[in-house]
Amino acid sequence: MKPLLVLGIILAVLFETTIGPRLSPVGGRPLFLLSVVVYFAWMRGVVPGTLFGLAIGLLADLMSLNAPGLRMFSMCLVGAAVGNITGSIYKDRLVVQWLVLAFAVWLNQTAVFLVGTGLDLFAYPAWFLREIVPSAIWTALLCPLVIVMWEHLTGREVLFDAERVVVRR
């Protein structure tokens, strides 16, 4: 594994367990581990994104009290969906990153809700407004901001080209 990816996973775990719960007074929270899956799947494609989502989902399952395999399934689904759009959109645009992260949060949280509640569609609108919308906003705003802050702190530029993340001085 690349050192930048390992550092990203460690920071995502730390942020998700320490900062995330403090930012959710009304519901929803930033999903930093999900953003790592999104950026990895975006760079590598469907199969690596799906397998990486599976591994990160297992890590998320181990950190939570949810049903075993729930996050593994949802992050695997996100890795496959985001990996499927790898070559079709321009990744360096901040607005595109926001939209893809918001879509990934919606897909992840919807899968978690539907599997966790046994397809209870009547409770979904309240869950959508209370959990998914705030989580999508937090994740879409904070995760690209973390990348921009890292660029300013290190003096290196992070570019998302077609095949890899390029860090330039």
Contact 106, 2 (CB under 8 A): no
Cα–Cα–Cα angle for 62, 104, 116, nearest 5°? 50
Give the number of other Cβ atoms within 10 Å of residue 14's Cβ.
12
Q: CA nearest 43: which of 91, 104, 99? A: 91
pLDDT the model gives residue 109: 93
Residues ≥6 apart with Cβ < 8 Å to 9: 33, 36, 56, 59
Task: Sketch the domain layout of the chain as residue ranges.
Answer: 3-168
Angle between helices 46-63 and 3-18 (to 10 degrees): 40
pLDDT tens string 19-55 = 777 776 667 888 888 988 988 888 788 999 999 999 9
Contact 52, 37 (CB under 8 A): yes
Q: Tell whether domain 3-168 is in CATH 1.10.1760.
A: yes
pTM of the model: 0.84
pLDDT tens string 56-111 = 999 888 887 777 888 899 999 999 999 888 777 766 677 888 888 999 999 999 99
